[in-house]
Amino acid sequence: MGLRLHRATRALAGAALVGAVVALTAQGSGATATRVAAPTPVTKLKASATYNSVTLTWSNPRHGTFSLVEIRRALGRTAPATVRAGTLLARLGATRASFVDHGVAPSTTYAYAVFTIKGALSSRAAKVTTTTAVRPLAGINIFSNPHYALSNPFAMIAQGGHLWVVNRGNDSVTEVNDASGAWIQTLSGGSYGFSGPDGIVTDGTHVWVTNGAGNSVTEFTAATGAWVRTLSGGSYGFNGPVGIASDGVHVWVANNGGDSVTEFTAATGAWVQTVSGGSYGFSSPVAVAVEGAHVFVANPNANSVTELATSSGAWVQTLSGGTCGFGYPRALLTVGTTLWVANKTADSVSEVDAAAGTCTTSFSGGSYGFNGPVGLTSSGGHLWAVNGSPPGSVTEMSATTGAFTSNRSGAPYGFTYPVPIVTDGAHVWVANYNATLTEFPAS
């Protein structure tokens, strides 16, 4: 009687032997099937990424049930399904439970598969996906990618990884990754209704932009840049809205053409009030800042700063003369309970005790090198003032004492009619009229 050999087959992707394999042993006139189990997959597979590496960790199955671990990688979110797919990264001994992949690029998504191997058999894939971080900025950088669409950049904020630049020249707002300087998107046209945009502020959830030529305020989401609403007309009383600030509950807008300030609710955009005239002393107001119970408004034509009560909008006082040293106050910044004022024509920066509502001192001359200061930003005890007059520079001073620290200028920085300045804590960003962004370390 002839020997019949029956082979049981199973379609396996990439010809890998996964699952049960049937081996046949001839015994007289028949055959007996013996099942050989594939090894058990690893568990608790995790990935942690930096900009230039990915670390994988996992838990191995019971010792002796497999002989080695194989790691494979694919670009994107779909991990290799078999030991023939993707890129082989490593084959490791059965005692290993971690691996570091150094062959990755910044800001890139990778999918990994880890297999246990025993002889010709492999386990199912344990899978994980991760995205590497952006490459951190180092030193001084000048960004000029045409995608930025910068045109007479006039205001700027940084928050939660986003850098938003207001472009007065082409009615747009550019979003940049503040960790890498990479362009993300440019908002313009359609419902945004940008028209001579001037000021910008965020509470972390919403972003508001004043439209000086359109007598309106545009709101979009900080997370996506999606348009939410455009506020205009009627009771808002917008008339050349320029400066804007928020206390998280209310938003305050300085109307340069109307010598007034408009208040609306941050959550809904509902108008609260418009204050003007008489004791307020508004004179072409251009900037607003909020500190606790106080709202401060810069009046360049009157060389003064008006203080309002945050709770009611009522006039408190008008600061001017003496130790204030205001000279066309162009920018305001609150740091703790201190109000800093950049004086464009006086080439100085004034310090005000915001809690007490009194002028403390005015810094100018000598090493400060102020030359038409038009913007202020601060973090970690540092205060930076951007000097807009040619050739352009940035003065750094102590935010606690006002003492001079440094003056940054010259070819490495590429300043050209700089106006807005902002810091994200790690970097200082300056937008230049010639459609470039300058970045340098904050420390």
- CA–CA distances in Å: residue 21 to residues 9, 16, 52, 390: 8, 11, 41, 79
Quick one: pLDDT band at residue 44, thresholds 50, 70, 90? very high
Q: Give yes or no for residue 21 having a pLDDT over 70.
A: no
Q: Give yes or no for residue 18 having a pLDDT over 80.
A: no
The arithmetic mean of pLDDT across residues 32-42, rounded, is 78
pLDDT at residue 29, as a whole number: 44
% of the chain beyond a pLDDT of 90: 82
Q: Give yes or no for residue 7 having a pLDDT over 70.
A: no
Q: Give yes or no for residue 16 having a pLDDT over 90.
A: no
pLDDT at residue 366, as a whole number: 85
Query: Does 1-133 carry CATH code 2.40.30.10?
Result: no
The arithmetic mean of pLDDT across residues 310-336, rounded, is 95
The 3-class secondary structure across the chain, one letter per residue, is CCCCCCCCCCCCHHHCECCCEEEEEEECCEEEEEEECCCCCCEEEEEEECCCCEEEEEECCCCCCCCEEEEEEEECCCCCCCCCCCEEEEEEECCCCEEEECCCCCCCEEEEEEEEEECCEECCCEEEEEECCCCCCCCCEEECCHHHCCCCEEEEEEECCEEEEEECCCCEEEEEECCCCCEEEEEECHHHCCCCEEEEEECCCEEEEEECCCCEEEEEECCCCCEEEEEECHHHCCCCEEEEEECCCEEEEEECCCCEEEEEECCCCCEEEEEECHHHCCCCCCEEEEECCEEEEEEHHHCEEEEEECCCCCEEEEEECHHHCCCCEEEEEEECCEEEEEECCCCEEEEEECCCCEEEEEEECHHHCCCCEEEEEEECCEEEEEECCCCCEEEEEECCCCCEEEEECCCCCCCCCEEEEEECCCEEEEEECCCEEEEEECC
pLDDT at residue 23, as a whole number: 38
pLDDT at residue 78, as a whole number: 97
pLDDT at residue 134, as a whole number: 83
The two tokens of residue 200 are: 């910008």
pLDDT at residue 1, as a whole number: 38
Outline which parts of the chain fall under CATH 2.60.40.10.
1-133
Q: Which residues of 130-140 are buried (b: 16+ CB within 10 A; e: fewer)?
A: bebebbebeee
Q: How many CA atoms lie within 13 A of 280 on its CB side?
A: 24
Asked whether the beta carbons of 110 and 130 are under 8 A apart, the reply is: yes
Q: Which fold has domain 141-441?
A: Methylamine Dehydrogenase; Chain H (2.130.10)
Residue for token pair 């940008």: 194
pLDDT at residue 2, as a whole number: 41
The arithmetic mean of pLDDT across residues 142-165, rounded, is 92
Average pLDDT in the chain: 91
For residue 27, what are the contacts with CB-CB under 8 A and spacing of at least 6? Answer: none
- CA–CA distances in Å: residue 138 to residues 164, 177, 184: 21, 15, 20
The arithmetic mean of pLDDT across residues 59-83, rounded, is 95
The arithmetic mean of pLDDT across residues 293-310, rounded, is 97
% of the chain beyond a pLDDT of 70: 92
Of the listed ranges 17-21, 249-253, 357-361, the least confidently predicted one is 17-21
pLDDT at residue 6, as a whole number: 36
Q: Enumerate the H helices of 268-426 as residue ranges.
A: none
In this predicted model, which residue has the larger pLDDT, 5 or 265?
265
Quick one: pLDDT band at residue 12, thresholds 50, 70, 90? very low
Outline which parts of the chain fall under CATH 2.130.10.10.
141-441
Quick one: pLDDT band at residue 35, thresholds 50, 70, 90? low
The arithmetic mean of pLDDT across residues 10-17, rounded, is 37
Q: Which residues of 202-234 are buried (b: 16+ CB within 10 A; e: fewer)?
A: bbeebbbbbbbebbbbbbbebeebeeeebbbee
The arithmetic mean of pLDDT across residues 113-120, rounded, is 96
User: What is the layout of strands, in order, in the sheet containing 358-364?
Assistant: 329-335, 338-343, 348-353, 358-364
- CA–CA distances in Å: residue 413 to residues 138, 139, 366, 442: 13, 10, 22, 14
pLDDT at residue 234, as a whole number: 83
Q: Give yes or no for residue 296 having a pLDDT over 50.
A: yes
Asked whether the beta carbons of 408 and 440 are under 8 A apart, the reply is: yes
Q: Give yes or no for residue 10 having a pLDDT over 70.
A: no
